[in-house]
């Protein structure tokens, strides 16, 4: 019976090709816009999330403003923070600015940052060539530097900078590595930076404290607890002064960004869903016309033994068929639009199964909802009146 | 012979606005297996109403109607549909074949509502079409068949469920004299094979083919024995 109904629906759609297509158009547009919008927003979200994730989700950044009495963290403070659970490593930053010189070429006001080996371990892609700063450099306060790509190009044009001298703040350093050009979204671009061991920086840059600290986590699931623990340590370090420091959790930021984007895609899908409703009304209209045209047929089927349920089922299936068929067309159109759009915008294209299920499920529901009334009307036709109408 | 149809004091009235119009007045009718009965009457005599009630498309306002053991007045819409499917084979004046279906598919149609499997449906439809002489037209659409052939397909469709009664409404009304006569011959042949037939007509010449003729006029039945 079900198979028979599907076959009859198909035949009816084929017989009225143009009308069926126009009827389905509403659903096609609705589903296509839902698929396209969700996919494009999803693609953009994923791309941006990936960029941000590349900066480190397992990282909590502590920025210290300090108090008049204590302007930053000392090495001892850092060790206290290292006692907190769930920490795999700490990467301090000693901020400095200095002129750097190589063979008479001067570059002014370059950010020279003191960092440690953890910084390089946290992201293996940081280093483009040479070697990173290691524990030995830190312990013996070696005069070594890892330089950003732009600096390598500017000062050592055409040369391999590794092994060459670099004058920083009046002292001679040896270049041991170069940094990979960092991403566009990076808040701290490394392209124009020089990185030296932080112990060396504390001694020779004239900066006596650590202004920021990247804390790497063992398990990001307990990030909130770790943040609380670090806060407690910092709180006592700065003698319970407010605003002496701020803690920035990258994972939190990504989460709130993603939830914002998913709200946005829901909103867009909601707007697109309106056209699905309009499409549903189109289907209802076509079904009503179709029932009027087929009154005799319905009467005959009833005379031959079709129960009201059977008739209702047949017409609901026809409505669902129309809407799902429209949904499938919309899926194809929407995917194409999304595919082209993501290429143009330059974000990744991936259609989620849940998106497809949502669109098709929604169009099926539209079919049921808007097919119900016409189908019920058909099932209630009096066979005598229906047969007489010929 | 067993009584398969028994009507006792059947009345049917319709409302035209406020006014109640009685179309059938205390009609009594009995049909036994193997009967070939013509219900003869002019238009407006109530014969269509009779046919609707006999065919279980409509129920009487009062009275008792038994068809093949079913108390029709007691049945709801769903049960009526089942009775129509199982007990009644309809043949209409304008054939009422579905235009997009082949002869075979048209004949299969009532069996779909019986709930038979596809292979069983095909088997039965094929054998009945063969019997009625349309073995070579099974794949044809109604538009590719002559009027007489279309009516034969319609008769095959009515017979395929092996109904208790074959109920024909002006079966020759849309056919020319010659093909009409052929259809009547087929009816007589079916009746000789034991098929119970009730035929509604306004044409005395057609009614003459039946074994029993019941006249209907202004909602009253009168029967005179023929032969």
In this predicted model, what pLDDT tens digit does every residue of A293-303 receive, in sequence order? 888 889 999 99
Average pLDDT score over chain B: 91
The answer to whether the Cβ–Cβ distance between A303 and B78 falls below 8 Å is: no
Distances A194 to A113, A190, A214 between C-alpha atoms, Å: 6, 8, 18
Confidence class for position B120, pLDDT limits 50, 70, 90:
very high
- Summarize the confidence of residues A52-62 as an average pLDDT: 75
The band of A390, judged by pLDDT with boundaries at 50, 70 and 90, is very low
pLDDT over 90 at B149, yes or no: yes
**A5-14, A32-41, B65-74: range with lowest mean pLDDT:** A5-14
- Which residues of chain A have a CB within 8 Å of the CB of B157? 304
Mean pLDDT along residues B139-155: 94
Nearest to B153 by CA among B165, B140, B163, B162: B140
CA atoms in the 13 A half-sphere facing the CB of B31: 29
Domain coordinates of chain B in residue numbers? 34-59+76-225
Mean pLDDT confidence for A343-361: 84
What is the interface size between A and B, counted as CB pairs within 8 Å?
A: 57
Residues of B in contact with A300 (CB under 8 A): 92, 96, 98
Confidence at A244, pLDDT banded by 50, 70, 90: confident
Three-class secondary structure of residue B100 per DSSP? coil
Q: Do B78 and A308 touch (CB under 8 A)?
A: yes
Contact B84 A1 (CB under 8 A): no
Q: Where are the beta strands (DSSP E) in chain A?
A: 59-64, 87-102, 105-115, 127-130, 144-147, 165-168, 171-179, 193-197, 212-217, 245-249
What is the mean predicted confidence (pLDDT) over A353-370?
Answer: 87
Q: Which residue in chain B is spatially nearest to A300 when comparing CA positions?
A: B96
User: Confidence class of residue B145 from pLDDT cuts 50, 70 and 90?
Assistant: very high
Kind of pairing between the strands at A105-115 and A193-197 = parallel
Mutate to test the interface with A, among B53, B77, B81, B143 (most CBs of A within 10 A): B81
- A352-368: average pLDDT: 87
Asked if pLDDT for residue B166 goes beyond 90, the answer is: yes
The residue in chain B having the minimum alpha-carbon distance to the alpha carbon of residue A7 is B101
CA dihedral A104, A107, A109, A114 (to 10 degrees): -90
Q: What are A117-154's pLDDT values in tens digits? A: 888 887 777 888 889 999 899 888 899 999 988 888 88
The angle formed by the CA atoms of residues A87, A92 and A93, to the nearest 5 degrees, is 150
Q: Render pLDDT for B57-98 as a digit per residue (tens, 0 to 9).
A: 998 999 999 999 999 989 999 999 999 999 999 999 888 999
* pLDDT of res. A389: 56
Q: How confident is the prediction for chain A on average, in pLDDT?
A: 85
Q: What is the C-alpha to C-alpha distance for residues B24 and B26, in angstroms, rounded to an integer? A: 7
- With a cut of 60, say whether residue B226 has pLDDT above it: no
User: Do strands B19-32 and B3-16 pair parallel, antiparallel, or not at all (unpaired)?
Assistant: antiparallel
Measure CB to CB from residue B112 to each of A1, A296, A303 and give the nearest one.
A1
Instruction: List, in sequence order, every residue forming a beta bridge with A146; answer none if it has no partner.
Output: A177, A195
Distance from CA of B155 to the nearest CA of A (A): 12
Rounded distance between C-alpha atoms, residue B208 and residue B187, angstroms: 12
Which of A41-55, A254-268, A362-376, B54-68 has the lowest average pLDDT? A41-55
Whether A130 contacts chain B with CB within 8 A? no
* Cβ pair A305:B98 closer than 8 A: no
* Burial class of residue A229 (count of CB atoms within 10 Å of its CB; 0-12, 13-18, 19+): middle
What is residue B184's predicted lDDT score, i.e. its pLDDT?
A: 94
DSSP string, A38-81: HHHHHHHHHHHHHHHHHT-SSEEEEEE---SS--SB-HHHHHHH
CATH superfamily of B34-59+76-225: P-loop containing nucleotide triphosphate hydrolases (3.40.50.300)
End-to-end distance of chain A based on CA atoms, in angstroms? 26
Prediction ipTM score: 0.92
Distance from CA of A297 to the nearest CA of B (A): 7
Of A238, A257, A240, the residue nearest A63 (C-alpha): A238
Mean pLDDT of A31-60: 81
pLDDT value for A55? 66
Is the minimum CB–CB distance between B114 and chain A shorter than 8 Å?
A: yes
Cβ separation A303–B94 shorter than 8 A = no
Indicate yes or no: CB of A384 within 8 angstroms of CB of B58. yes
Quick check: B100 and A296 CB within 8 A? no
Q: Which of B86, B138, B87 is nearest to B115 (CA)?
A: B86
**Both structure tokens of A236:** 């006592």
Q: Do residue A383 and residue B94 have CB atoms under 8 angstroms apart? A: no
Lowest mean pLDDT among A45-49, B124-128, B163-167: A45-49
The predicted model gives A255-264 an average pLDDT of 84
Residue B72: the pLDDT is 93
pLDDT over 90, % of chain A: 15
Q: What is the pLDDT averaged over residues A234-247? A: 80
Token code pair at residue A242? 């407010």
Is the pLDDT reported for residue A252 higher than 60?
yes
> Cα B194 from chain centroid?
15
Q: Do B57 and A303 touch (CB under 8 A)?
A: yes
CB-based contact B85 A387, cutoff 8 Å: no
Burial class (CB in 10 A: 0-12, 13-18, 19+), B71: exposed
pLDDT bin (cut points 50, 70, 90) of residue A40 is confident
Q: Which residues of B touch A308 (CB under 8 A)?
A: 77-78, 81
Q: Please tell me the predicted confidence (pLDDT) of residue A98.
A: 87
pLDDT over 70 (residue A36): yes
State yes or no: pLDDT of A182 exceeds 80.
Answer: no
Tell me the average pLDDT across A328-346: 90
Residues of A in contact with B110 (CB under 8 A): 304-305
Candidates B164, B162, B10, B4; CA nearest to B69 is: B4
Higher pLDDT, A259 or B37: B37
Would you place residue A243 in the very low, low, confident or very high pLDDT band (cuts 50, 70, 90)? confident
For residue A288, the distance in angstroms to the closest alpha carbon of chain B comes to 19
pLDDT at B60: 92
DSSP-assigned letters across all residues of A124-170: TTSEEEE----HHHHHTT--EEEE-HHHHHHHSTTS--TT-EEEETT
Contact call for B81 and A307, based on CB within 8 A: yes
Torsion angles phi and psi, residue A190, rounded to 5: -95, 0
Cβ–Cβ < 8 Å for B65, B10: yes
Considering only residues 46 to 75 of chain B, which have any Cβ-Cβ distance to chain A shorter than 8 Å?
A: 52, 55, 57-58
Chain A interface disruption, residue of B57, B142, B200, most A CBs within 10 A: B57
Q: How confident is the model at residue A188 (pLDDT cuts 50, 70, 90)?
A: low
Task: Answer whether A2 touches B (CB < 8 Å).
Answer: no
- Looking at residues A320-349, what average pLDDT do you find? 89
């Amino acid at each position: 019976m079900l198979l028979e109904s599907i076959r009859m629906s198909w035949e009816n759609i084929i017989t009225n090709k143009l009308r069926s297509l126009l009827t389905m158009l509403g659903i096609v547009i609705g589903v296509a816009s839902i698929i396209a919008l969700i996919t494009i927003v999803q693609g953009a979200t994923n791309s941006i999330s990936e960029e941000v994730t590349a900066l480190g989700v397992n990282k909590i950044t502590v920025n210290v403003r300090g108090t008049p009495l204590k302007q930053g963290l000392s090495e001892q403070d850092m060790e206290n923070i290292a006692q907190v659970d769930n920490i795999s490593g700490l990467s301090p930053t000693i901020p400095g600015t200095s002129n750097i010189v190589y063979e008479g070429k001067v570059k002014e006001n370059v950010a020279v940052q003191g960092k440690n080996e953890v910084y390089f371990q946290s992201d293996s892609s940081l280093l483009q060539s040479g070697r990173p700063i290691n524990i030995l450099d830190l312990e013996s306060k070696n005069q070594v530097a890892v330089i950003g790509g732009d600096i390598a190009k500017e000062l050592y044009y055409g040369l391999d900078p590794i092994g060459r001298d670099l004058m920083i703040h009046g002292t001679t350093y040896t270049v041991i590595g170069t940094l990979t050009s960092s991403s566009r979204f990076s808040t701290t671009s490394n392209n124009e930076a020089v990185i030296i061991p932080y112990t060396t920086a504390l001694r020779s840059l004239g900066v006596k404290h650590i202004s920021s600290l990247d804390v790497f986590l063992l398990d990001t699931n307990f990030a909130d607890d770790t943040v609380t623990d670090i806060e407690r340590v910092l709180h006592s370090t700065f003698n319970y002064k407010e605003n002496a420091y701020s803690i920035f959790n990258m994972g939190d930021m990504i989460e709130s960004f993603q939830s914002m984007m998913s709200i946005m895609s829901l909103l867009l899908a909601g707007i697109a869903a309106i056209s699905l409703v309009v499409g549903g009304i189109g289907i209802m209209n076509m079904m009503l016309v179709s029932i009027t045209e087929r009154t005799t047929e319905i009467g005959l089927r009833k005379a031959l033994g079709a129960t009201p349920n059977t008739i209702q089922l047949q017409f609901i299936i026809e409505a669902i068929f129309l809407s799902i068929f429209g949904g499938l067309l919309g899926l194809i159109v929407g995917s194409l639009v999304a595919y082209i759009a993501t290429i143009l915008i330059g974000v990744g294209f991936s259609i989620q199964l849940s998106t497809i299920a949502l669109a098709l499920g929604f169009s099926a529901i539209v079919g049921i909802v808007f097919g119900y009334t016409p189908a019920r009307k058909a099932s209630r036709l009096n066979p005598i009146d229906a047969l007489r109408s010929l | 012979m067993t009584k398969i149809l028994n009507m006792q004091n059947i009345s049917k009235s319709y409302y035209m606005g406020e006014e109640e119009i009685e179309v059938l007045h205390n009609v009594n009718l009995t049909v036994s297996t193997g009967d070939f009965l013509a219900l003869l009457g002019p238009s407006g005599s109530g014969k269509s109403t009779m046919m609707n009630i006999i065919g279980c498309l409509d129920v009487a306002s009062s009275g008792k109607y038994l068809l093949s053991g079913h108390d029709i007045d007691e049945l709801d819409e769903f049960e009526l549909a089942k009775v129509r499917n199982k007990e009644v084979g309809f043949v209409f004046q304008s054939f009422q074949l579905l235009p997009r279906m082949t002869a075979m598919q048209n004949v299969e149609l009532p069996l779909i509502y019986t709930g038979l499997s596809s292979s069983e449906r095909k088997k039965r439809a094929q054998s009945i079409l063969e019997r009625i002489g349309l073995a070579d037209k099974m794949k044809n659409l109604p538009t590719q068949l002559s009027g007489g052939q279309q009516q034969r397909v319609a008769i095959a469709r009515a017979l395929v469920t092996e109904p208790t009664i074959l109920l024909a409404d002006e079966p020759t009304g849309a056919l020319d004299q010659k093909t009409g006569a052929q259809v009547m011959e087929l009816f007589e042949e079916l009746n000789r094979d034991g098929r119970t037939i009730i035929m509604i007509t306004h044409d005395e010449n057609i009614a003459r083919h039946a074994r029993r003729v019941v006249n209907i006029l202004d909602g009253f039945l009168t029967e005179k024995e023929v032969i």
